[in-house]
Chain A
Amino acid sequence: MKKHLLISGKITLLLLASLSLQAADQKTIYAARSGSKMRIEGTSNIHDWQVESPFIGGLMEVGPGFPTEPGQEVKPGKVDAKVEAFITVRSLKSLEKDGRPYSDSMDGIMWQKLKGSEDEVTKKVPYPKIEYRLSELVLKEAPKAKDGAYVFDANGDLALAGVTNKISMPVNITPMADKKLKITGTVTVKMTDFKIDPPAPKIAMGFIKTGDPVKLIFEWIVAPKKAPTAASN
């Protein structure tokens, strides 16, 4: 009997050890997937405008206990999560209200303001991407419905046109089929906060004056990153 206990004890120890190894590794990395979208809405003295990009790239890393399934038991409070996301400036395109392409000239001016001027020699632009880095994610409430969203407050850094600003915004995360997560949010920023003069291009009858505040509306789809074949640990 004693021998049996000893063996089962060793097995238990092994099990416990492997569990703690798992717990240490239980960070899950999510990679960006298609279906994501960034929409920017703005105003001007002539008409409202809208810009969209179909690309939000980057990675999200979450710790154990992060709500990744519908109806998970989670307590409000700070959660273990890291995000680094980016959008290529050239993928932002102006649209008509019905979604058709709007204007090459507007796109050109917008990219110029965001990317900076091309270096004559290297032909490279200083800021080809808009980048976001999450610094803190706080869960506010669990979903009210079975397929509802977990509501968070996100604090992070938004970098564009060479300027970085802290931004805070509410963020909803909805678990989807195939273990995907849909992350949505809206935040209003001012162009001048990023040292961008709102564009005022000349047109046939004067100037268009763009409004300073712009609304960023994003929908980011991420899925667990397929692990490469790892060496045995």
Chain B
Amino acid sequence: MSENEKDISAFNRRDFLRGGSVATMMAMLGGVEVFAQTNQAPTGPTKVNVVKLKVAVIGLGAWGREIVNTLARIPEADIAAICDTYPAALKRIASVAPAAALTEDYKTILDNKEIKAVVIATPTGNHKDIALAALKAGKHVYCEAPLANTVEDAREIALAAKGSRQCIFQAGLQMRSDPQRHFLLPFIRSGALGKLAQSRAQWHKKTNWRSSSPNPDREKALNWRMDKTTSLGLIGEIGIHQIDQQGWFINALPAAITGFGSINLWSDGRDVADTVQAVIEFPKGVRMIYDATLANSFDGEYELLYGSDAAILMRESKAWMFKEVDSPLLGWEVYASKVQFYKETGISLVANASKTPPPNAQGQPAQEEPFINTPLSYALGNFLRNSVDLNSAAEDYKTSYGADDVDGLAEHLAKVPRRNAAGYLEGFQTVVTAVKANEAVTTGKRIELKPEWYELK
């Protein structure tokens, strides 16, 4: 459902080059970085109509607010309503979406026929009821990852999504929509790194993750992440994005996970680890070493893939390749921009596709405008455009061929091309991984993952 599976053996390195042919020519002229297509509208006198879609955001915690800020900068988004059970949360973000209706009851949004799509960013445990009701109401649904805290709930959501043939369902695995990662995917899958040795990823941020409220019930609800009955912890809530991404590049699902977790800094009564480590085993001996901590911020968030010919480092929307001295020369690398990382020379593979200036000589990113050209922005943009495309296709089918051909309509809608996005299957599979990863972390054991657990039935 998410992207074309190309015949990897037929992937030609020259096609990789040709894919950015204009950019390549410019690279040869002046050493400019190779960058991915973004299909941005050309500047010029033609003012192109943008088809807007009325969308609502349900759940206005830190990530919900990030979503509202991001949608506010997407031309296709018409934020018609925002919802939270906490009035203070509504007030806090209202100015970003001044035309949006404010509500504490998500059902008013589902009853509103004008609102065609909803983004669900409530605490994980609350996703299911809202997602199922939204699909039943015929809304397109973007549901944050992990979809649920249990495999059973995730299965229920995924099967409902599968059956709602006129609705777009997108899981909040925003990396799956990032154009730079899609640019890298065939490159990595073609074996450009040589034989894969291992993978590593981390998420470091010194923060207590805690919100406060004078109301004890509200405080408990706000701090759902710190409670083992409502949270899959650092690895299930944060790590899942990075584990999913690496599995996507490696083209395999985890076979086993070993984990550790402890509270090293924030002993404030929480029962969820603030520091976790895990080894995720993929087939053929390729293991991913993961660590996440709320106790230290050094080096933030990144993912690494190590191969016998090169390693690739991915950080936010940028990527660099570090070649082994004995690996074959790829002609284009002579012209590519290079960045020094201590003793290593990184060949810049991908630059941010916006017009922001390139990193400085030390590899530090230039000042960038927030909330645009982030993976979340691409994910939400693709969600809205997929929803608009599906709506148009359904309306045009009925206008052209009649409204009585229901099966023909469903068959047609299934073939409408979708922009890159994680669907219900990826959403379901990442919950299987998240639940087992969290189990490994909380028990300190090695948990094997049976392939049939990943099948959606």
Contacts and interface: CB of A to CB of B under 8 A. Distances in A.
A115 B49 contact: yes
Interface string A77-111: 00000000010101100000000110111001101
B87 interface: no
Interface string B5-47: 0000000000000000010011000000000000111111011
A205 B22 contact: yes
- Most chain A CB within a 10 A radius of its CB, from B43, B399, B401: B401
Contacts of A118: 49
Interface of B: 4, 22, 25-26, 39-44, 46-49, 51, 385, 392-393, 396-397, 399-402, 405, 408, 411-412, 417
A109 B48 contact: yes
Given A101-B417, A204-B22, 18 more contacts: A33-B405, A34-B411, A55-B396, A55-B397, A55-B401, A88-B396, A91-B393, A100-B417, A103-B39, A105-B41, A111-B49, A112-B49, A201-B44, A201-B46, A202-B43, A202-B44, A203-B42, A205-B25
Of B385, B396, B399, most A-chain CB atoms within 10 Å: B396
15 contacts: A31-B401, A36-B400, A54-B412, A56-B400, A58-B400, A90-B396, A91-B392, A91-B396, A100-B4, A101-B417, A104-B39, A109-B46, A109-B48, A201-B46, A203-B22
B49 A105 contact: no
Contacts of A34: 397, 401, 405, 408, 411-412
A36 B408 CA distance: 12
Contact of B401 (A57, A90, A103, A199): A57
Nearest to A110: B48
A202 B40 CA distance: 12
A24 to B, nearest CB: 27
Contacts of B25: 205
A32 B39 contact: no
Given A117-B47, A201-B44, A88 B399 contact: yes
A196 interface: no
B401 A105 contact: no
B49 A125 contact: yes
Interface residues of A, number: 33
Nearest to A87: B400
Given A55-B401, A88-B399, A202 B42 contact: yes
B393 A105 contact: no
A57 B49 contact: no
A160 B41 CA distance: 24
B58 to A, nearest CB: 26
A205 B48 CA distance: 21
Contacts, number: 76
A117 B48 CA distance: 8
A118 B51 CA distance: 10
Nearest to B399: A57
B49 A108 contact: yes
Contacts of A57: 399-401
A32 B397 CA distance: 10
B405 to A, nearest CB: 7
B185 to A, nearest CB: 15
A90 B51 CA distance: 10
B396 A32 contact: no
A199 B46 contact: yes
Contacts of A201: 42, 44, 46
B444 to A, nearest CB: 47
Contacts of B49: 108, 111-112, 115, 117-118, 125
Contacts of B401: 31-34, 55, 57
Contacts of B392: 88, 90-91
The listed residue with most A CB atoms (<10 A of its CB), out of B40, B46, B393, B400, is B400
Contacts of B4: 100
Interface in A94-152: 100-101, 103-105, 108-109, 111-112, 115, 117-118, 125
A112 B22 contact: no
Contacts of B48: 105, 108-109, 111-112
Contacts of A205: 22, 25
Contacts of B408: 34
Contact of A105 (B42, B51, B402): B42
Nearest to A99: B417
A58 B400 CA distance: 7
A31 B41 contact: no
A199 B22 CA distance: 20
A65 B108 CA distance: 58
A54 to B, nearest CB: 7
Nearest to B388: A90
Contacts of B44: 201-202
Contacts of A88: 392, 396, 399-400
A71 B131 CA distance: 56
Contacts of B417: 100-101
A34 B39 CA distance: 30
A139 to B, nearest CB: 27
Contacts of A109: 46, 48
Shortest Cβ-Cβ A-B pairs, 6 listed:
A57-B400, A108-B48, A55-B400, A201-B42, A88-B396, A105-B41
A108 B41 contact: yes
A122 to B, nearest CB: 13
A88 B101 CA distance: 33
Contacts of A86: 400
Contacts of B411: 34
A31 B405 CA distance: 12
